[in-house]
C-alpha cells in the first residue's frame, strides 16, 4: 500500500509552493445506469478491461492545465473510486476529491460544486459516461471560457432528420437540422455565474448549459468530438469497446520504461542482489535491503506504465518497506500495473560493479525474478575497467528496462 493510500475521501491540499488551480473539473459518475443494465452502476461497469470511470479520468488528467478534480459517485462506492482517482491522478496531482452524489444528475453536480476550492474560476462539468472524450475537448472549453466569459459547450451537427411529433406519434413537422446541435460534455462556465445559476435553479434541467442559460447567461457552442458520445445503452458500450480495440494496433499497446539504482557498499550489511541473499559478500547500504536490481526493475516498470517512481509510490516513510527485500517491491509494483490494466512483456537488467561475481547465480536470479513478475527477466553483469565508482569498488549500479502492454479485454 502506498503512503498516499486513499481514505474514504481523497482530500485536496495545496501543493507546497504550487499555485492553486483556477480550473475545476466535476466528473459526475453517481448515476445507476438503468439503461445500460450492467451488474454495477454505470461508471463502474467494465469497458475494455477497466471501468468506464477510469477511462474518463484518463481524459481529465490528460488536460494541459493542472485542475482541481471532483469526482461524484454513488455513496457506497466513494472508497473504491478514491483509489481509482488516486491512481489516475498520479503522484503529481494534489487536487482531487471524491464525494457522494445525489438523486439526480443536477443534484450530483451541485454536490460537486460545493467541493471546489476558492481558487477555482472556471468550472467544467463532465459526464463520466462520455468515457472516450479526448483531453483536447477539455482544453478547448477552458480556452473558450477564458476568452469569452460565457458558457462553452461542445456540440456536433445532427445527422438524422428530426421530426416533431404529437401525442399519437403523428408527424407535426420536420425540424431544420441545420439549426440543431447535439451537445456533449465537458461543459465549461465561469464559476461565479454557474454557482449563482445553481443557487436559483427551480427545476431540473437536462444539462448544465440549460440551467446556466435559464439564469440569463450566454452559452456558445464549439466543435465537439464524435468520441465524446455518451455510453447509455449496451450498444453504446459495444461501440466504445470496438473503438478502443481499433485504436490499439499491436505495437501501440507496447510501452517502455527505464530505471537506475545505485547503492554504496556497506561492510556491516548482508548483500541482497537480484532478489538473492549472497552470504560472505560485501553488503550494500540503503533503504530496505539495498538491492539495486529490484529497485531499478521497480522504477522501470512504474515508468513504463506511467505510474510514477519508486520514491513517490513506496515512500521511504512507509514502515512496510523498512528492511523489505526486493520481491516485496516487485510484487507490490506488479499489483499496481495489473490494476491499471498492464501486463509485463519482459524486463532486462544490467548490473555494473566489481563484486560479487554474478554469472554463477545468473540462472537462479533470472528464475526467481521471472517467477515473481510472471514475465521473462534477464540479468547481465559487467565491470567498468576500473573506472568510476563501480570501478573503484565503492558500490553497485543497476540499470533496468521494461516493456509492458495494456490489455484490452
Ligand atoms: N449522474 C450522476 N448522478 C445522478 C444521475 C446521473 O452523477 N443522480 C451522472 C451519471 O453517472 C452519468 C451522467 O450523470 O455519468 C449522465 O447521466 P446518464 O447517462 O443518464 O447516466 P445514468 O443516470 O447513470 O443512466 P440511466 O439514466 O440509464 O440510469
Ligand atoms: Mg440518467
- Whether the Cβ atoms of residue 56 and residue 27 lie closer than 8 Å to each other: yes
Flag whether 190 is in a domain: yes
| Helix, strand or coil, per DSSP, at residue 367 | helix
- Whether the Cβ atoms of residue 149 and residue 100 lie closer than 8 Å to each other: no
Do the bridges between strand 181-183 and strand 151-157 make them parallel or antiparallel, or are there none, so unpaired?
Answer: antiparallel
User: Same domain for 80 and 16?
Assistant: yes
User: Same domain for 264 and 226?
Assistant: no
| 239 ligand 1 Cβ < 6 A | no
- In degrees and rounded to multiples of 5, residue 222 shows phi and psi of -120, 170
Q: What is the DSSP string of 215-271?
A: TT--EEEEE--GGG----SHHHHHHHHHHHHHH--GGGGEEEEEEEEEEEB-TTS-E
Residue stretches of the annotated binding site: 261-263, 287-288, 295, 309-311, 382-385, 389, 392
The residue from 232, 261, 282 where one domain ends is 232
Q: From CA 10, how far away is CA 381, in angstroms rounded?
A: 43
The per-residue pLDDT of the chain, averaged, comes to: 91
Cis status of the peptide bond prior to 186, with omega within 30 of 0 = yes
Q: From CA 266, how far away is CA 228, in angstroms rounded?
A: 57
User: What average pLDDT score do residues 59-71 get?
Assistant: 93
| 104 ligand 1 Cβ < 6 A | yes
- Report CA dihedral (314, 318, 319, 320) to the nearest 10 degrees: -40
Give 160 Cα–ligand 2 centroid separation in angstroms: 23
Cβ neighbours, 10 Å, residue 202: 7
| Structural domain that includes position 397 | 249-407
Distances (CA, A) of 365 to 177, 291, 362, 402: 67, 12, 5, 17
Query: pLDDT tens digit string along 331-366?
Result: 999 999 998 888 999 999 999 999 999 999 999 999
Percent of the chain scoring above 70 in pLDDT = 92
Flag whether 339 is in a domain: yes
Q: Per the structure, how many domains does the chain have?
A: 2
User: Same domain for 227 and 281?
Assistant: no
Flag whether 241 is in a domain: no
User: Same domain for 166 and 276?
Assistant: no
User: Same domain for 316 and 187?
Assistant: no
Query: pLDDT tens digit string along 334-343?
Result: 999 998 888 9
- Whether the Cβ atoms of residue 53 and residue 84 lie closer than 8 Å to each other: yes
Q: From CA 368, how far away is CA 337, in angstroms rounded?
A: 19
Type and span of the H or E element at 84: helix 78-89
| 29 ligand 1 Cβ < 6 A | yes
The CATH code of the domain that includes 365 is 3.30.1330.50
Q: From CA 347, how far away is CA 315, in angstroms rounded?
A: 23
Give 261 Cα–ligand 1 centroid separation in angstroms: 47
Looking at residue 248, its pLDDT comes to: 59
User: Same domain for 222 and 364?
Assistant: no
| 53 ligand 1 Cβ < 6 A | no
Name the band, by pLDDT with cuts 50, 70 and 90, for residue 373: very high
- In degrees and rounded to multiples of 5, residue 265 shows phi and psi of -65, 145
Amino acid at each position: 500500500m502506498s503512503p498516499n493510500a486513499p481514505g474514504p475521501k481523497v482530500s485536496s491540499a495545496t501543493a507546497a509552493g504550487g499555485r492553486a488551480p483556477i480550473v475545476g473539473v466535476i466528473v459526475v459518475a453517481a448515476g445507476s445506469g438503468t439503461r445500460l443494465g450492467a451488474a454495477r452502476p454505470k461508471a463502474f461497469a467494465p469497458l475494455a478491461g477497466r471501468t468506464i470511470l477510469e477511462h474518463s479520468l484518463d481524459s481529465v488528467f490528460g488536460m494541459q492545465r493542472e485542475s482541481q478534480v471532483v469526482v461524484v459517485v454513488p455513496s457506497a462506492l466513494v472508497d473504491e473510486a478514491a483509489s481509482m482517482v488516486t491512481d489516475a491522478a498520479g503522484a503529481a496531482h494534489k487536487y482531487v476529491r471524491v464525494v457522494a452524489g445525489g438523486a439526480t444528475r443536477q443534484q450530483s453536480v451541485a454536490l460537486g460544486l460545493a467541493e471546489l476550492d476558492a481558487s477555482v474560476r472556471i468550472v467544467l462539468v463532465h459526464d463520466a459516461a462520455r468515457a472516450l472524450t479526448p483531453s483536447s475537448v477539455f482544453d478547448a472549453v477552458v480556452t473558450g471560457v477564458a476568452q469569452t466569459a460565457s458558457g462553452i459547450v461542445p456540440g456536433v451537427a445532427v445527422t438524422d432528420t428530426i421530426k416533431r411529433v404529437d401525442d399519437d406519434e403523428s408527424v407535426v413537422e420536420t425540424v431544420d437540422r441545420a439549426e440543431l446541435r447535439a451537445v456533449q460534455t465537458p461543459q465549461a462556465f465561469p464559476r461565479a455565474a454557474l454557482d449563482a445559476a445553481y443557487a436559483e435553479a427551480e427545476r431540473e434541467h437536462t444539462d448544465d448549459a440549460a440551467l446556466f442559460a435559464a439564469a440569463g447567461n450566454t452559452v456558445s457552442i464549439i466543435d465537439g468530438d464524435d468520441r465524446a458520445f455518451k455510453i447509455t445503452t449496451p450498444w453504446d458500450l459495444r461501440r466504445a469497446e470496438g473503438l478502443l480495440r481499433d485504436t490499439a494496433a499491436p505495437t501501440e499497446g507496447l510501452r517502455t520504461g527505464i530505471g537506475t539504482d545505485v547503492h554504496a557498499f556497506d561492510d556491516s550489511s548482508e548483500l541482497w542482489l537480484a532478489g538473492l541473499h549472497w552470504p560472505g559478500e560485501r553488503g550494500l547500504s540503503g533503504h530496505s535491503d539495498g538491492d539495486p536490481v529490484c529497485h531499478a526493475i521497480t522504477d522501470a516498470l512504474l515508468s513504463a506504465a506511467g505510474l510514477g517512481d519508486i520514491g513517490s509510490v513506496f515512500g521511504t516513510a512507509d514502515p512496510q518497506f523498512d528492511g523489505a527485500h526486493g520481491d516485496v517491491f516487485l510484487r507490490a509494483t506488479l499489483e499496481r500495473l495489473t490494476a491499471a490494466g498492464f501486463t509485463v512483456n519482459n524486463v532486462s537488467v544490467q548490473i555494473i560493479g566489481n563484486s560479487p561475481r554474478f554469472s554463477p547465480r545468473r540462472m537462479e536470479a533470472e528464475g526467481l525474478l521471472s517467477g515473481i513478475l510472471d514475465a521473462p527477466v534477464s540479468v547481465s553483469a559487467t565491470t567498468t575497467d576500473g573506472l568510476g565508482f563501480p570501478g573503484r569498488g565503492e558500490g553497485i549500479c543497476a540499470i533496468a528496462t521494461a516493456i509492458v502492454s495494456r490489455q484490452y479485454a
